[in-house]
Chains A and B, each alone.
Chain A
Amino acid sequence: MSGMLITGGTVLDQSGERRADVRVADGTIVEVGNGLEASAGEQTLDATGRVVSPGFVDLHTHLREPGREESETIETGSRAAAKGGYTCVVAMPNTDPTQDSVSVVEFVRAQGEAAGLCDVRPSGSITIGRLGQQLSPLAELADAGVHLFTDDGDGVQDPLLMRRALEYAADLGIVLAQHCEVKRLTEGAVMHEGHCCSRLGLPGWPSVAEELMVFRDIELVRLTGAPVHILHLSTARSVDLVRAAKADGLPVTAEATPHHISLTDERLEGYSSLYKVNPPLRTMADVESVRAGLADGTIDAIATDHAPHAPETKERPLDQAPPGMLGLETALGVSLASLDMPLVDVIAAMSWKPAAIAGVADQHGRPVLPGEPANLTVFDPGAEWQVVPAQLASKSRNTPFGGMALRGKVWHTVLRGTATVVDGQPSR
């Protein structure tokens, strides 16, 4: 493998910011310093006026393969991830078949390796088929390298089953991630329950349906000692509950999505299914609380919940259209446009903090230092741009951010010393 020199950038990592060039050879950072000269045969990536950071890690990506390849494949999703500056994504298990067995998980991992654009780390489901009845083979899957387990799309409804899952998981060094939604309270729900749904005549998804399960799982963590990661937290009260749990020293982590820090339920006014997502877009007060939760560290990570859907499914009547939004290619731009916090804290929430939760901190989100794996993102934090749906690398087009002014654009992404994105374009 030939080498690479990233020149003229500002390195930003756990130890702060400094001006430095970065030399990479054989997938590893070999030199970080000023005035480095490119040697013959070395690829040069210009980072002048840009930031060089550890690659981003997404805790929450729906790659749709196997089962829904018309909306995304592992290859197209990996390309979208690379374009968004990601070097690692956790693939959600709600595939068909479900990622509840070693063979399916191995398939997903192998497809990720074949695509070679991003490390694809499959998650496993907590229960077989995500049906909430019988535990998946958690230890077998853990032995196969699965670290994050979730029934995402559905929360584990049965409190006894969730308790057992946590107790069983406690010995395995794995993390259970919960989609917090008490289903009985959200039957038929299309959008946030509030004044908008009242006027639009759409069934509401009350905040309390999320908060009850956040509370329940925090108490189960207190009981069992096993860690829980809370997925796509969306309400002000949920943020308060997690903040209190952390103050009690409980092993609880949480993520928030770019859309829950930027969009509100009023977007549904025109009945566009682009704004239908689960959990739903909520009120400005919730958006501000989630932003505050990220700023004070209550929420550890920004995770995309990248959820591709083919156009024909998003064109169904709003109550029948599937929930979900694209997120990988716009996460940085939306986050920097929406958050008033130091750049290093935003990148922490997109890189090394999620890397720790995903169990990939040995490879991703590492400091930019000699000897470390060369998983890097080069971005311009001030670049303003708009997303053009037709130019997305994702196979689907369901971005809710079209027309929005985004700030922060990824220029280059490097995966183990190989450029997967150069000048904003996927290398293949």
Chain B
Amino acid sequence: MKHFRSVDEAGPDAIRRLLDLADHMAEVNRRPNPKVPALRGKTVCNVFFEDSTRTRLSFETAAKRLSADIMNFAVSSSSVNKGESLRDTIETIAAMGVDAFVIRHKSSGVPWQVSDWTRASVINAGDGWHAHPTQALLDCYTIRTALNRTNSFDGLKIAIVGDIKHSRVARSDISAFTMLGADVTLVAPRTLLPPETTVPVETNLDDIIEDLDVIYLLRMQQERMTESLVPSLREYTTRFGLTPERARRLPEHALIMHPGPMNRGVEMAVDPSELPGSVITQQVTNGIAVRMAVLFDLLGSGSNLEENE
């Protein structure tokens, strides 16, 4: 695989391979010295045109554990603020000798443009409303380990709740969960759904909550109210938030997931640390293993993962 830009582009075989590889990476991460020389001599550059501390740190940690060199291009203090074009920025960094770009941009499609301008691998760390494929991988990996579903999600009932329309996480998760065999249902008002959907939509969370294996809550942004997408956050919570009442109606084994950062009291109207099904911190931990898997898959040359530094 040359790039990792979207779940659909990677396809089911690559997604399964990366999840298997993430198992090995998780094992590395459990070692007392969680570092292997697999990508020694490789250079990875984080280029985040949109702030994202957690995703950037996760990639940085993943690269370091594989012994790659990592550079961070900080857009806020860069030539981009002097009007440099995206293309010139990418070509300039590429000229320094970069093996992979990790790109985050507020505009959908930027990773595809970037890969026209460089021979380096391009990893999509989130583009606009479109895709966030490493988030989808870590979500799949989290479900797979927590529910012990190694090979398939067949029959798993997963509800993705909230602002699907503006969510790259939702788009990538829908693709990945469906690809692995899960039955995905979207729960949202029409205003927060894309114009057309490929999976069933349910408007009443209470009708399905008792049958769910996974409830995936999306971040509800304050600005959506001023855009008349929902009347108020209070009403949103009433209809779509995870309240203590709803949490009690979830099956005992059901997982509660969130991509972060959470809006407490809005979509998460209960303290997740008090919910046994919450795997939100595991999601963050697993993010490092799946990003190691992606970097290794794109840049590795079969180096021995077992050999400690």
State yes or no: do A and B come from one complex: yes
- Measured CB to CB, the residues of A under 8 A from B are 190, 193-195, 197-204, 206, 270-271, 312, 315-320
Residues of B contacting A200 in the complex (Cβ-Cβ under 8 angstroms): 108-109, 130
Query: A316 to B109, alpha carbons, bound, how many Å?
Result: 11
From B85, B107, B129, residue with most partner A Cβ within 10 Å: B107
B37 at the interface (CB under 8 A from A): no
Find out whether the CB atom of B86 lies under 8 angstroms from the CB atom of A316.
yes
Determine if B109 and A318 form an interchain contact, defined as CB atoms under 8 angstroms apart: yes
Residues of B within 8 A of A195 (CB): 195-196
Residue of B nearest to A315 (CB): B87
Cβ-defined partner of B109 (8 Å) among A194, A203, A271, A312? A271
28 example contacts (A-B, Cβ-Cβ < 8 A) are as follows A195-B195, A195-B196, A197-B195, A198-B194, A198-B197, A199-B171, A200-B108, A200-B109, A201-B127, A201-B129, A201-B131, A201-B171, A202-B109, A206-B195, A270-B112, A271-B113, A315-B85, A315-B86, A315-B87, A316-B86, A317-B105, A317-B110, A318-B107, A318-B109, A318-B113, A319-B107, A319-B128, A320-B107
A320 to B110, CA, bound (A): 11
Contact A271 B105 (CB under 8 A): no
Q: Which residue of B lies closest to A204 (CB)?
A: B195
**Is B64 on the interface with A (CB-CB < 8 A)?**
no
The yes or no answer to B168 lying at the interface (CB within 8 A) is yes
Given A200-B130, A315-B87, A194-B107 contact (CB < 8 Å) = no
Contact of B85 among A190, A203, A204, A312 (CB under 8 A): A312
Contact of A202 among B113, B129, B197 (CB under 8 A): B129
| B113 / chain A contacts, CB cutoff of 8 Å | 271, 315, 317-318
Interface majority SS (helix, strand, loop, mixed), chain B: loop
> Which of B110, B128, B131, B196 contacts A198 (CB under 8 A)?
B196
Measured CB to CB, the nearest residue on chain A to B108 is A201
Contact A201/B168 with A317-B105, A317-B109, A317-B110 known, Cβ cut-off 8 Å:
yes
**B residues bordering A, Cβ < 8 Å?**
85-87, 105, 107-110, 112-113, 127-131, 168, 171, 194-198
A153 to chain B, nearest CB (A): 22
CA distance A199 to B128 in the complex (A): 12
Shortest CB distance B218–A (Å): 14
| A270–B43 alpha-carbon span in the complex (Å) | 27
- In the assembled complex, the Cα of A315 lies from the Cα of B196 at a distance in Å of 28
Q: How far is it, in angstroms, between the C-alpha of A206 and the C-alpha of B196 when the chains are bound?
A: 12
**A198–B196 CA distance with the chains assembled, in angstroms:** 6
A201, A202, A320 — most chain B CB neighbours (10 Å): A201
- Complex contacts, A320 vs chain B, CB 8 Å: 107
Residues of A within 8 A of B110 (CB): 271, 317
CB contact under 8 A between A194 and B195, given known A199-B171, A317-B105: yes
Contact check, B127 vs A316: say whether CB atoms are below 8 A apart. no
B112 nearest CB neighbor, chain A only = A271
**In the complex, A193→B195 CA distance in Å?**
7
**10 closest A-B pairs by CB:** A271-B109, A201-B130, A317-B107, A198-B194, A201-B129, A195-B196, A201-B108, A271-B112, A198-B196, A318-B109
- B86 and A202 form a contact (CB under 8 A): no
List 15 additional A-B contacts (Cβ < 8 Å) besides A195-B195, A271-B109, A315-B85: A190-B108, A194-B196, A198-B194, A199-B194, A200-B130, A201-B129, A201-B168, A202-B109, A203-B129, A206-B195, A271-B113, A315-B86, A315-B113, A319-B108, A319-B128
Q: Which residues of A contact B198 (CB under 8 A)?
A: 199
User: How many Å lie between the Cα of A108 and that of B201 in the bound state?
Assistant: 55
Partner of B130, one of A194, A202, A312, A316: A202
Say which residue of B108, B168, B171, B194 sits within 8 Å of A318 (CB atoms): B108
Residue of B nearest to A312 (CB): B85
In the assembled complex, which residues on chain B have CB atoms less than 8 Å from the CB atom of A199? 171, 194, 198
Check A271–B108 contact: CB distance below 8 A. Answer: yes
Contacts of A316 in B (CB 8 A): 85-86
Q: With the chains together, A315 CA to B91 CA distance in Å? A: 13
Q: How far is the CB of A271 from chain B (nearest CB, A)?
A: 3
- B127: chain A residues within 8 A (beta carbon): 201
Taking CB as reference atom, which chain B residue is nearest A316? B86
Cα distance, A312 to B196, chains bound together (Å): 33
C-alpha spacing A194/B196, complex, angstroms = 6
Which residues of the partner chain B approach A270 to less than 8 Å between Cβ atoms?
A: 112
Task: Give the chain A neighbours of B195 by CB distance below 8 A.
Answer: 193-195, 197-198, 204, 206
Least CB distance from A97 to B in Å reads: 24
